[in-house]
């Protein structure tokens, strides 16, 4: 008697569970799964955006794309941007986390100030930096010239390699707080006896960092690097707003090409092919990250 009752309750619960997840599933299907599938489908057509006239072209969008130097150029730019900004984010992030972990004056104010760039809108960040970078009245050129580091104003966004360096720097400024917070949270859980032991063994601060802190941070750093690599790779707003991909497409990354193909050159099908190719590359990172997360189990 007890067993069937139990299983009927279980079935009722399963039904309740499905009912609760139903809104999520419906929304996912409508705004994520369906668009994702139709992006792949769309990439097999040639579409003219204003009229939406389309014709089947099979894989020729992909053939054209892979044969053009533009794809490899954009991929290269994306990799340069991602590698550059990610490295800076990690180095600055770890450094700042170590500093904020110390007992410095006004620590919570310091933490707020460091966190702020991460949470402001990219639009705000870009406007502020454009004003700082301004070639005639920008404060940065003024400060650098006053201190004698440069003798002529620098054109930060209009020439190469300055534009790429500037974009990488602003990206590092905007996103390194993410690394700070993540690393700081982990630092606070490293057991103090480990440091005591190292100190007794005669390890100086630098040796302690490499022998105790860094190995303890390893796991969280792997996760941070993967997450940030994915997010930096697909970054659109920051680069688009700062340089628009210029000068002459030298900071044009893959997401920017997708946008331009679709909404400036009016080639929706081609744009979809670019987007799908970009996603295929990202998929490698995503699968590595997801694998890792599932192995470790949810938080």
157-186 residues in contact with another protein (CB under 8 A) are 173, 178, 181-182, 185
Among 75, 79, 80, 132, binds another protein (CB under 8 A): 132
Among 5, 55, 58, 146, binds another protein (CB under 8 A): 146
For position 187 contacting another protein by CB under 8 A, the verdict is no
- The packing angle between helices 268-296 and 60-67, to 10°, is 80
Q: Which is nearer to another protein, 11 or 160 (CB)?
A: 11
For position 21 contacting another protein by CB under 8 A, the verdict is yes
Among 3, 105, 192, 204, binds another protein (CB under 8 A): 105
Residue 239 and residue 190 in contact, taking contact as beta carbons nearer than 8 Å: no
Please, what is the end-to-end C-alpha distance for the chain in angstroms?
A: 39
Least separation in angstroms between CB 65 and another protein? 15
Cα dihedral 161/230/86/73 (nearest 10): -20
For position 56 contacting another protein by CB under 8 A, the verdict is no
Which among 76-84, 114-122, 148-156, 190-198 is the span making contact with another protein, rule CB under 8 A? 114-122
For position 36 contacting another protein by CB under 8 A, the verdict is yes
User: Omega before 178 cis (within 30°)?
Assistant: no
Which among 62-70, 83-91, 191-199, 221-229 is the span making contact with another protein, rule CB under 8 A? 221-229
Least separation in angstroms between CB 199 and another protein? 15
Least separation in angstroms between CB 123 and another protein? 5
Across the chain, the runs of DSSP E, i.e. the strands, are: 45-48, 53-56
3-state secondary structure of 55: strand
What's the Cα-to-Cα distance from 222 to each of 94, 175, 194, 228, 292, rounded to whole Å? Answer: 13, 16, 22, 10, 10
Residue whose C-alpha is closest to residue 241's, from 103, 130, 148, 160: 130
For position 59 contacting another protein by CB under 8 A, the verdict is no
CA distance 245 to 237: 11
Residue 257 and residue 274 in contact, taking contact as beta carbons nearer than 8 Å: yes
For position 216 contacting another protein by CB under 8 A, the verdict is no
Cα 73–78–84 angle (5° rounding)? 125
Q: Which is nearer to another protein, 168 or 276 (CB)?
A: 276
Which among 65-73, 122-130, 156-164, 208-216 is the span making contact with another protein, rule CB under 8 A? 122-130
CA distance 251 to 291: 32
Among 6, 8, 31, 76, binds another protein (CB under 8 A): 31
For position 290 contacting another protein by CB under 8 A, the verdict is yes
For position 237 contacting another protein by CB under 8 A, the verdict is yes
Residues in contact with another protein, total (CB under 8 A)? Answer: 88
């Amino acid at each position: 008697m007890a067993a069937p009752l139990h299983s009927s309750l279980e079935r009722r619960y399963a039904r309740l569970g499905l009912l609760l997840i139903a809104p999520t599933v419906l929304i996912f299907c409508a705004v994520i799964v369906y668009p994702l599938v139709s992006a792949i489908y769309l990439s097999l057509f040639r579409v003219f955006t204003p009229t939406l006239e389309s014709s089947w072209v099979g894989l020729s969008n992909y053939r054209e794309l892979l044969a053009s130097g533009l794809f490899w150029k954009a991929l290269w730019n994306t990799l340069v941007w991602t590698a550059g900004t990610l490295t800076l984010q990690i180095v600055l992030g770890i450094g700042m986390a170590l500093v904020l972990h110390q007992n410095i004056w006004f620590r919570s104010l310091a933490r707020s100030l460091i966190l702020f760039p991460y949470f402001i809108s990219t639009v705000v960040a870009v406007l502020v930096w454009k004003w700082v970078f301004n070639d005639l009245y920008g404060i940065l050129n003024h400060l650098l010239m006053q201190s004698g580091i440069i003798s002529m104003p620098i054109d930060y966004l209009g020439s190469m390699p300055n534009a790429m360096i500037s974009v990488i720097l602003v990206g590092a400024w905007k996103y390194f707080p993410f690394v700070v917070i993540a690393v700081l949270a982990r630092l606070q859980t490293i057991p103090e006896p480990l440091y005591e032991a190292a100190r007794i063994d005669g390890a100086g601060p630098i040796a302690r960092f490499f022998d105790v802190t860094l190995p303890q941070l390893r796991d969280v750093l792997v996760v941070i690097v993967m997450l940030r690599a994915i997010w930096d790779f697909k970054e659109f707003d920051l680069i688009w707003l700062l340089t628009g991909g210029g000068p002459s497409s030298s900071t044009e990354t893959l997401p920017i090409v997708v946008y331009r193909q679709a909404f400036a050159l009016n080639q929706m099908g081609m744009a979809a092919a670019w987007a799908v190719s970009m996603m295929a590359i990202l998929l490698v990172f995503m699968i590595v990250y997801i694998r890792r997360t599932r192995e470790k189990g949810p938080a």
